[in-house]
Amino acid sequence: MRVVLRNPRREVEIPGPIRAGLLLERLGIPRETVLVIRGDTLVPADAVLEDGDDVEVRPVISGGAS
């Protein structure tokens, strides 16, 4: 599967099937710091990602009005 990572932007190929949580573990990314998105859908850590999937890993951004 093609995995697009942000900050810095880069792409990696990861063989599937693999659970989203294990993907992050293999990439050395703490789960609570990112969102995993397949297509246009946010996926939970236990979702199985397949070889043909396009996946994006985006950092969680928080903020608000002051």
The number of folded domains in the chain is 1
Please check whether residue 31 is in contact with residue 16, taking contact to mean a CB–CB distance below 8 angstroms: no
| Spatial distance between the Cα atoms of 13 and 2, rounded to a whole number of angstroms | 5
Q: Report yes or no on 65 lying in a domain.
A: no
Question: Quick one: CA torsion of 59, 46, 53, 61, rounded to 10 degrees?
Answer: -10
The pLDDT assigned to 2 comes to: 96
- Give yes or no for residue 3 having a pLDDT over 90: yes
Please, which contacts does 6-12 make with residues 24 or more away whose CB atoms are closer than 8 Å? 6/56, 6/57, 6/58, 6/59, 7/59
- State the residue range of the domain holding 52: 2-59
CATH number of the structural domain spanning residue 23: 3.10.20.30
* Chain segment 12-49, per-residue pLDDT in tens: 999 999 999 999 999 999 999 999 999 999 999 999 99
Is pLDDT at 66 greater than 70 in this prediction? no
Residue 64 counted as domain residue? no
